[in-house]
Structure 1
Amino acid sequence: MNLLYTGVNQRGFGTWPLTGDTARRAVLDAVEVGYRAFDTAQMYGNEAEVGAALAECGVPRSELCITTKVHPDNYDEARFLPSVEESIKALGGEAPDLLLLHWPTLGGDVVPALTLLQNAFERGLARSIGVSNYTIAQMETAVSVLDAPVTTNQVEFHPLLDQSKLLAAASRLGIPLSAYCSIARGKIFEHPELAELGEAHGKSAAQVSLRWILQKGVSPISMSTKPKNMRANFDILDFSLSNVEMARIDELAARVHHRITASVPWAPKWDV
């Protein structure tokens, strides 16, 4: 099973929208900080840089967790497996620890893409498989279609978005969630209550946000090009939010309900 989503204290390093040497350098710095789980995608255009950095970082491949995601344009029999093989080549030649469908299929029928994902897994092109941006109904379909466990549903998850319904359904279905946009692309800094909560713990608003996600049982994925910020995002295990503090952030999420990915072309009808 994939280490990113089985470790209760696991934190992932995201690589969107980094490209070129910026991506390579950021991954190397993240390894130095302590990250071992790395997230990329065909859509990001940086699989080769991520793969190169992890090959030269000095950490054994067995200690690393690499996630990549199949672009929706490749959800057909002619392109799916070749695209995954290209991803494997770009990442250094070994199957990714986790292969995800990046978005639900346009039109809503997710079964064909899930079948192709299962086929890739059976061919040894991924050590585990999962989905991203799936709704409750789509998660239910994934569980019914896939023979392999659904290792994660990677979704937008942060203190400005109420994902309580999705989280409850994921728990019921046995699908761990992982969180992208963990600090809402900086929007959390517009809400002083997060900074106020951080002051009580000697932490920043970003660290409070990431800790809230972690205490929800969700694996946070964060990105920075600055080692200082990488380290701060990683160092979230030395404090805990109380039930009262967690509830206060829950209230913020329900009140603001800001979804960054609302207008993405592949976005499904979200659960609210």
Structure 2
Amino acid sequence: MNIYFKHSNQRSFGTYPLKGTACRDAILTAAEVGYRAFDTAQMYRNEAETGAALKETGIPRDTLCVTTKVENDNYDESKFLASVEASLKALQLDYVDVLLLHWPPADFQIEGSLTLLEQAHKRGMARNIGVSNYTVQMMRDATRIIETPLVTNQIEFHPLLNQDVMLAAASETGIPLSSYCSVARGEVFKHPIFAEIGAGYGKTAAQVVLRWILQKGVSINTMSTKPENIAANFDVMDFTLSSVDMARIERMTHMNYRIVSKDIVPWAPDFD
């Protein structure tokens, strides 16, 4: 079972690119709204703020689901476990619930970093492990390289990008998907269809988009600094999109609008 589904009712609060007071305030608001899953990363440079804010919430540790990600600069054997220890110290935690590899290695040879990830799990640094931005072949290979199940592959997932191939790979490999860029960094709001559908349910365009992702079997990561948006992004469990509306939204995926590509991230793989 996807750890995000199990521990967070399918919704996680993302912290990128928040820093300082903005990060603290957003996390405190998210916790008050009801979020119990929080997503950070070494690359975000906000683990310390995230850890301090989570401690400030007073939420019992066993009800939290904390995810962080190892930066690919730390995939060397001499750095990996030390970097995870540093993350735990910054987060003020004895372990994280989910530890992800943030990207495939620059040479796309995944065995070394996966083996180190599994070592972190065996040492108790992480209750669960997963990956981000893996291709279909990488997902297949990962299931052969390590024995510990991967609880997620976190990828760009929104209604303006067709990810049917990745959904099929998730089913094939047993590695569930979770989303980032869930509202395509605001691009979805340029398309009236989402607000039009939302009007029929008494929901916003963003809520329709997030609900569509959930109904595709993908858990969601969302970020906002506005309290009303943080609350709205969490409030997506009390309605179900009809098959007709799901199909209408599905047609938007053929735009294949991808945000994260080699133009932005030179070390990105050739995505499926």
Question: Is 2:266 the partner of 1:268?
Answer: no
In percent, how many aligned pairs have the same letter? 60
Q: Cα deviations across residues 26-75 of structure 1 (Å, max 9, x unaligned)?
A: 10110000000000000000001111111110210100000000000001
Is residue 33 from structure 1 mapped to residue 27 from structure 2 by the alignment? no
The answer to whether the Cα contact below 8 Å between 2:7 and 2:63 also exists between their aligned partners in 1 is no
Whole-Å separation in 2 of the counterparts to 1:235 and 1:144: 38
**2:189 match:** 189
Residue of structure 1 in register with 2:210 after alignment: 210
Alignment-derived partner of residue 132 in structure 2? 132
What residue is the counterpart of 1:246 in the other structure?
Answer: 246
Measured after TM superposition, the shift of residue 7 of structure 1 is 5.7
Q: Which amino acid aligns with 1:265?
A: P
> Could you tell me which residue of structure 2 aligns to residue 156 of structure 1?
156
- The one-letter code sitting in structure 2 at the alignment partner of 1:66 is V
Match of 1:172 in 2: 172
Q: Deviations over 1:107-157 (max 9, x none)?
A: 211111111111111111111100000010000111111211101000100
Counting matched residue pairs gives: 270
Distance of 1:171 and 1:3 partners within structure 2: 16
Contact conserved, 1:2 with 1:97, CA < 8 A, in 2? Answer: no
Q: Which amino acid aligns with 2:268?
A: A
CA distance in 2, matches of 1:230, 1:144: 39
* Matched-pair contact (CA < 8 Å) for 1:34–1:234: yes
Contact 2:24 2:49 in 1 (8 A): yes
Name the structure 1 match of 2:104.
104
| Structure 1 unmatched ranges of 5 or more | none
AA aligned opposite 2:257: H
Q: TM-score, normalised by structure 1?
A: 0.97
Distance in 2 separating the partners of 1:171 and 1:220: 18
C-alpha RMSD of matched pairs (Å): 1.2
Contact 2:153-2:176 at 8 Å conserved across structures: yes
Q: Is contact 2:41–2:71 with CA below 8 Å preserved after alignment?
A: yes
Whether the 8 Å contact between 1:36 and 1:63 is mirrored in structure 2 is yes
- Looking at structure 1, the residues matched to 138 and 199 of structure 2 have their Cα atoms a distance apart, in angstroms, of 40
Report if aligned partners of 1:158, 1:182 keep a CA contact under 8 Å in 2. Answer: yes
Counterpart Cα distance in 1 of 2:2 and 2:206: 26
CA distance in 1, matches of 2:111, 2:258: 26
Give the structure 2 partner of residue 23 of structure 1.
23
Is structure 2 residue 14 aligned with structure 1 residue 14? yes
The one-letter code sitting in structure 2 at the alignment partner of 1:270 is: F
Which runs of structure 2 are paired with 1:226-245 in the superposition (5 Å)? 226-245=226-245
For the residue of structure 2 that corresponds to 1:97, the secondary structure is strand
Structure 2 residue matching 1:90: 3-state secondary structure? helix
Once the two structures are TM-superposed, the CA of residue 82 in structure 1 deviates from its matched residue by 0.6
Q: Secondary structure at the match of 1:76?
A: coil
Choose 5-14 or 68-77, whichever is displaced more: 5-14
Structure-1 residue corresponding to 2:115: 115
Gap regions ≥5 residues in structure 2: none
SS at match of 1:152: strand
Shift in alpha-carbon separation, 1:56–1:8, aligned structure 2, 3 A:
closer
Whole-angstrom distance in 1 between the partners of 2:51 and 2:227: 19
1:80-91 maps to which residues of 2 (within 5 A)? 80-91=80-91
Distance, in Å, in 2 between the alignment partners of 1:23 and 1:183 is 20
- Give the 3-state SS of the residue equivalent to 1:127 in structure 2: strand
CA contact (8 A) 1:74 1:80 kept: yes
Supply the distance in 2 between the matched residues of 1:115 and 1:23 (Cα, whole angstroms). Answer: 32
